[in-house]
Structure 1
Amino acid sequence: MQKPPNPHEFALKETSPNIGAGAVTRDKLSCTYDLVEQMQYLYVRVVKAKDLPTKDVTGSLDPYVEVKLGNYKGLTKHFEKKSNPQWNQIFAFSKDRIHASVLEVIVKDKDVIADDFVGRLWFDLNDIPKRVPPDSPLAPQWYRLEDRLEDRKGEKAKGELMLAVWMGTQADEAFSDSWHSDAALVGSEAVANIRSKVYLSPKLWYVRVNVIEAQDLVPTDKSRYPEVFVKVALGNQFSRTRMSQIKTINPIWNEDLMFVAADPFEEPLVLTVEDRVAPNKDETLGKCMIPLHTVQRRLDHKPVNTRWHNLEKHLVVEGEKKDTKFASRIHLRVCLDGGYHVLDESTHHSSDLRPTAKQLWKSAIGILEVGIISAQGLIPMKTRDGRGTTDAYCVAKFGQKWIRTRTIVDSFSPKWNEQYTWEVFDPSTVITIGVFDNNHLQGGDKSKDSRIGKVRIRLSTLETDRVYTHSYPLLVLNPSGVKKTGEVQLAVRFTNSSYINMLYMYSTPLLPKMHYIHPLSVIHLDHLRHQATQIVSMRMSRAEPPLRKEVVEYMLDVDSHMWSMRRSKANFFRIMKVFEGLIAFGKWFDQICHWKNPITSILIHILFIILVLYPELILPTIFLYMFMIGIWNFRWRPRHPPHMDTRLSHADAAFPDELDEEFDSFPTSRSSDIVKMRYDRLRSIGGKVQSFVGDLATQGERFQSLLSWRDPRATTLFVTFCFVAAIVLYVTPFQVVLLITGFYVLRHPRFRHKLPSVPLNFFRRLPARSDSMI
């Protein structure tokens, strides 16, 4: 077992970044860009050129523009044989890294050996205007190109260049699409992979297929009863019905199958009716394709009309497929269920609990603003030119909106200072922020972006209108143990539009109505959640730049359902923590009964007598007691948002073989000896769990046997006791019974015996069904 790390190393740290100065309006939600530090940038927008002179012997020109500021140089793409090119590219130079007083813009001709000079412009940085949104963008203008100073003393050259130059901040609209000076080492083909972008998760629907019956099937072998089932496919998802119990040409199933589909729908629903003609051979009797855009969309629990669909079968002539012919008909009820929330993430920390159909959405209750400021102490994630380096970017997910910051190249302390806003529809949701290392700056799609760590923040734990500025530890668990890979500094603010509406949300169901009217089984939900995750990752990977599969799966906790000894132990200790209060109360009550503190025991006797004589005070006393506990605990309420806890996760005390098992592939790739060791360990733990569950079942069966006459003598004694107790309780005031019972339970130790009580002896002698187990 590895050495337990210093708990302060993984602690949350409160920070005091320089935010809020010079705040400006940023987006359509009218939220201020005030949760990040303001960063000054010099923007150069190169639009187009005209009337450029030819430089080659052939009379052609392959122009491009070089924007140069000190040691930083940005290049536009070049056009072949074009004297009037249009680039429309934006370059951003961080003011913190500017060590020059003049900006040079040079037009050159791309050549095989050496690029030819065409013309140039230069600007004094002191004369460049400043722009502050929401001012309109600065209009570009034409500039006449000049020759080299050393050649013609600044004479005008042929050609003009249209551009705009201004000083701004990261709140500028051009910021996200700019080439940044801190990415000067990145090739032009990989610039798209480093820009900040906003992604929208596809709208997911449940596709419910109720396979009812078929008519007039035509099996090849008419001398036997067909054994028919229906296979349904939607893209990569497959499911099938059971064999029809009616072995005729008119089979009946009446079975529901469910799938997940993303809007816009790209794949049709394909149904195939097949006959099991042999143990490993199925014959296709008919096929039907249903485009999903023609399927009815259901928003509530109202029934959907059924339809008959024609089944077709391919004609095979001399081994080749020819035309199709009508085979039979199938009776279906197909709909797109929009009243559900398609669970593409774990419901324990879901970021969206709304139904799919937008018509069922309620108004937003607030706004979540997150400022991704910086990171510190990132570890090297790869090597480049013989040294360790990290190209870090952040991804945040809440609801349907995903965001990706720009990639800061070759920095262990990157500064993003980007702010994003989400509408909030439910406070019991979680925003997830992950940090990754970009492995696609050199081109190629085979490498994967590495995980640096992630943070989850539950909105219900945040106070409204308060800005939380903290540095969150980034933790990654690998086969060698838990490892801190750095810290990410965030600023978070949750603003609610109506406090009454937010409080009302606590009284409404967590999930949409359809989850309770027509609930889905846990096994079914797990399967659908897996399919939803695959669809989301596939759609996100098709964006530009792509949000890759490994990133989406890490953000959605795809592997959280896999068996882990560490998670099992962590969950066990969580349960023990929950019951810790009951155990403490039991110990305290036992001390009262044994008069460990006589004064406290006497006070409890007095309180007990008052509550028995005045039973109407019982409930007010309980609620008053809980009120006082809540007010007392207010002093120690959490002042910081939650973060990844290594102690709670049992990550800091996990054995190496347990971590090796957790990170093993499925199915396993380890040797038979290691698998045998794991199996024996699992059997040992399973045996303990089996014994514990068996003991619980035994106690329950003993309660059942009180009146089941499995033990005739015990049941006779219990029934007789119940009859006598009924008569005694009928003639005796209930308060007297409570007083006698209470005084008996709280009696002094000198009136107690160390032997078990009569009721306990009687209960332990009752029979259980464990005697009947083999």
Structure 2
Amino acid sequence: MSRFRSWRAKHKNKMLKVPLEFESEEEMDRDRCASEPPTPSSPPIVATSGSAEHITGENYMIHLKLISGHNLAVRDVTGTSDPYVKLKHGRYKARSSVIYRNLNPHWMEKFIFQTKDLSLPLNVKVYDHDIVSSDDFMGQGTIHLNKYEHNKVEVITLSLTDPVAPAEQLGYLQLEIKVLNMTYHEQHAYEQQKLQQSKKKIQCWNSILTVTVLGATDLPAMDSNGFSDPYCKFKLGSQKYKTKVQPKTLNPEWKEKFDMKLYDDQSKQSLFIEVWDRDFPAADDFIGECLVELCDYEPDVQHDLRLPIGESSGTLHLLLVISGLSCKEESDVLSGNLMKQAKIDFQLQNIVKLLSAKEIGLLHITIERGADLCSYNERDIRSFVTIEVGNAQLRTHAVSYTADPIWNKTFSFPIKDIHDIVHIEVINERKGKEEWLGQLMIPLLKLQVGHSKTYVLKGKSCLNRAHGTITINCDLVYNIVCAGLQTFKPKEVPVLEEEPKFQRKLLLRNIHKVIELIHPVVQVHHYIQELLSWQNPVQSLMALMVCCTVNVCL
């Protein structure tokens, strides 16, 4: 204790010299604000992650519609241009689509953005799209937003100019603009919408729209030779697809399939189909269009559609299937009633009616579950099953985060040939890409019906075993007489024919076969050369005597 007192007395002066640390003015202000009650003079500030702006102060919503361009500048050697438009207002930037080989393009595109300062100009620039070199400048214009009346649509004719050459005539753009005052609730709704759009890239699809384009008939002739070079464009939301060009025909056959992903907010959308005639180097000619309302078609059923192409006399033939929807509760009574009705329809007493029909039976198949499908991390697993019987193909919904998924999805397939094969594939969607896990191929006559059966998945060659198993339950009803008569008819032609792929192993095998055939010929040629050069006098003399004998005999 005395030792401690002596140490404290020795260091007493040093302990008193330690400076005191005071709070900074910023910390004191923060503490003072925390102690005072908030004033309800303005709505709270809402900060939403993923948005470019916070909702503070007065905001405006700008609705801009890019209609068309007229008499635009020529920038290509072909006497045309490939124009597109760039928009810039503060931090907001947008770009229109490219209209190829057209000086009077029609875009009809809408742009919506939010702003706080109407004094900032909206800069509009037009460029010519070039693949090899950099894009060429075609003109620019400025829109002053504070000059337009709020909540009213106004049409703008924007003349394009070039600061380097102000006297050059570069044409003009037709636009529509509407400036809206946003309330606090509208601002919040707009921010939420932007957040949903940012998340849509990683959003999981809800169902799949499968469109199989078979062909078209009686298309109008758009070229001087009396034919057309038709192709189709498909658009569903932001998803766009295009078929190949079929040259010089009015009855094209494409036989191409496209899978389009449907999200929760796209179940009532429309599928837009356009048919065009390919012209090069001139602009493509528009033939006609079709509109398909998805809500008008029953899911998990293949629909055979023949759609009129606009006002022309042509008809577009395609197959449409909406599959992959989440499993719906289907009672055993309903399933049993369906099979009872099928047994009545395919009885022998209806043989006269069945002979004229295309279907000879009905397959009722339930994909129950899978087990130990893959060895990935569970967060990377999102598996679904595709079932194909003949030309009909359907798929289940996707089950995530488990290697032992439970689908319990039931499908009904009309049977046209009793010798068809049930082809089942298990696919995993990992990081936006589909990975093949295994398959199962069972002839209809070898299906074990009436109870659940677990099968081991096979590899791509069906000889080796893949990872995991799958459990299915089948029920098959068919007419024996019609099935027997169908055996003597030609087999149904597949709608989609797989294009032959380049196989390196097959090429090497064929090269080896050709070498084996050429090798004996080369050996005979060398032997004849040795005889003629008398490298072995005995063999050459015997060959000469044989030739002389043959000539004397002939």
| Superposition TM-score tier, normalisation by shorter sequence | 0.3 to 0.5
**More helix as a share of residues:** 1
Structure with greater proportional strand content: 2
Greater relative CO (CA pairs within 8 A, separation 6+):
1
